[in-house]
Amino acid sequence: MRGRIQLMCGGMRRIFVAGMLILSQSLQAQGVLPSIRVPPLPAIGRPGTLGAAVPALTNELASRQLRDVRRLYVRNLVRRHRDALELDPGGAAIMRGEVLAFSPSDAAVAKARAAGFSVLRERTLDGLDGRIVVFEPPRGTSTRRALATLRSLDPSGSYEFNHIYTDSGTVIPAGASGTPTEPGDASQPAAAQAMPDPGEGTRLGLIDGGVDTSHAVFRDIVIHQHGCDGKPTPGAHGTAVASLMIGRSMKFHGAAAGSELYSADVYCGLEEGGAVDAIADAFAWLVRERVPVINVSLVGPPNGMLERVIRAVIARGHVVVAAVGNDGPAAAPLYPAAYPDVVGVTAVDSSQRVLVEAERGRQVKFAAPGADMAAAAPSQSYSMVRGTSFASPIVAGLLAAHMSEPNRGMAERAVAELAREAVDLGAPGPDPVYGDGLVGANVRPEPALARRAD
């Protein structure tokens, strides 16, 4: 009995420490805490192992801590950008003074203007047969009241908050010198590198922050960029995700190394970026370009406008792959991964154990590497990465090998084929922790790439 109590307390301590480490990483990224070297987080064992025997009370403790991380992050984000952001009734970040309307009629727009609303901007979603109008409420009207007013003026219309979506992983810079940690990497021609080739014509879509296209792992790879008025801003998260999709060098390869990438920047270097109307515009661009597989390593609350757009994208035969998020095993589902027919991806460490912070549920379709590995970073460097953000692009890259064009039947077959190739982990058959199993186990760039430069 004493041994069982010790085991339970030990498990609770491990997960408590995990929660605190995740919290510290989040606060460090925000500048709330000074940067410190954070050790690897523990992971919950696979079902049937000793690690999985930690009592439900322990899991609930971890879940509360991990959910608190997101709440803290969102509140701090809003506090730092009060002029642009506020909280919705559920505590999610939204654009202050903005209400979205999907393809409102001329009569609805006229009613809104008569009620004192003005049109801030309009995005025509070519390829999705619609448009998004962003309304600004009359002075003195809260965003919540503005949404309610527009819905009452046009009961048959579609109106929503302009929610903000954030990345779903941690990028940990390993050195400050900015020099390549892979000897000779920046000067090696792509033709001399023995890397997996998914075949000519493979194309992938990415909705994220900007990508540093000058990095050596993108040498001689075609990358199309969209957003930010034609001036995408390279970021650590977008660069890392893109490298795990298509990057290649002498010692680095992504899941679909050398493929053509269509990258949409929805942040433009702004911490308060990632709004629904920008994401919708990115999806529309990728549909126009007929990019068959689209990766979204972003998470946030449910949003009717975003769901409508994603349903339209999937109906046109595209595969949407998304990270399930890092709010813990008992947290409420995050979106867009939890929308129907989106391929949700969780992350495992180098021991093939699900990350302690990874969400679980019916939205999990596949597991892929998401920790104990390196990814490209701006300025010809590499970083250590951790989170479901970095597992999702691996699955997207693998699916792209089965998709030559957007096609609903081809998309279903591609997902089914990848499921047949998956290595079953956890409980036999599909489960809420690992989904159909692990794929892309060989796509785990060596952590040594991100070693600190001396």
Question: So what's the pLDDT on residue 57?
Answer: 41
The pLDDT of residue 117 is above 90: yes
- What are the start and end residues of each CATH 3.40.50.200 domain in the chain? 166-450
Question: So what's the pLDDT on residue 47?
Answer: 34
Band of the pLDDT at 54, cuts 50, 70, 90?
very low
Assigned CATH topology for domain 93-163: Alpha-Beta Plaits (3.30.70)
Q: Specify whether the CB–CB gap between 50 and 5 falls below 8 A.
A: no
- Exposed e or buried b per residue across 242-275, where buried means at least 16 C-beta atoms within 10 angstroms of its C-beta: bbbbbbbbbbbbbbbbbbbbbbbbbbbeeebbbb
Q: Specify whether the CB–CB gap between 63 and 328 falls below 8 A.
A: yes
Band of the pLDDT at 209, cuts 50, 70, 90?
very high
Residues whose CB is less than 8 angstroms from the CB of residue 451 and which lie 6 or more positions away in sequence, other chains included? 174, 175, 181
Condensed to tens digits (0 to 9), the pLDDT of residues 318-357 reads 999 999 999 999 889 999 999 999 999 999 999 999 999 9
Helices (H), 248-382: 276-288, 304-315
Q: Compute the Cα dihedral for 199, 127, 365, 274 and give only its sign.
A: positive
Assigned CATH topology for domain 166-450: Rossmann fold (3.40.50)
Question: So what's the pLDDT on residue 6?
Answer: 44
Q: Using the 8-state DSSP alphabet, how is residue 164 labeled?
A: B
Condensed to tens digits (0 to 9), the pLDDT of residues 390-409 reads 999 999 999 999 999 999 99
Question: So what's the pLDDT on residue 172?
Answer: 84
Question: So what's the pLDDT on residue 42?
Answer: 38
The mean per-residue pLDDT over the stretch 276-287 comes to 98
Least confident stretch, 43-57, 108-122, 156-170, 363-377? 43-57
How far, CA to CA in Å, does 389 sit from each of 174, 245, 322? Answer: 19, 12, 8
Question: So what's the pLDDT on residue 394?
Answer: 98
Question: So what's the pLDDT on residue 230?
Answer: 87
Question: So what's the pLDDT on residue 184?
Answer: 40
**Residue pointed to by tokens 């969102």:** 74
Band of the pLDDT at 61, cuts 50, 70, 90?
low
Q: In what order do the strands lie in the sheet with 343-348?
A: 223-226, 260-265, 203-208, 293-296, 319-323, 343-348, 364-369
Q: Three-state SS for 2?
A: helix
Question: So what's the pLDDT on residue 187?
Answer: 34
Length of the chain: 454
Band of the pLDDT at 71, cuts 50, 70, 90?
confident
The pLDDT of residue 1 is above 60: no
Number of Cβ within 10 Å of residue 350's Cβ equals: 14
Average pLDDT, the chain: 84
The pLDDT of residue 39 is above 80: no
Question: So what's the pLDDT on residue 181?
Answer: 41
Question: So what's the pLDDT on residue 175?
Answer: 52
The mean per-residue pLDDT over the stretch 118-122 comes to 97
The pLDDT of residue 451 is above 90: no
| Interior angle at CA 304, CA 86 and CA 66, nearest 5 | 55
Name 242's bridge partners.
Answer: none
Q: Specify whether the CB–CB gap between 196 and 259 falls below 8 A.
A: no
- Exposed e or buried b per residue across 410-440, where buried means at least 16 C-beta atoms within 10 angstroms of its C-beta: bbeebbeebeeebeebbeeebbebbbbbbbb
Residue, of 145 and 195, whose pLDDT is higher: 145
Question: So what's the pLDDT on residue 70?
Answer: 81
The pLDDT of residue 25 is above 70: no
Quick one: what percent of the chain has pLDDT higher than 70?
79
The mean per-residue pLDDT over the stretch 242-249 comes to 96
Interatomic CA distance for residues 269 and 273, integer angstroms: 8
Band of the pLDDT at 201, cuts 50, 70, 90?
confident
303 phi, psi to nearest 5 deg: -145, 120
- What are the start and end residues of each CATH 3.30.70 domain in the chain? 93-163
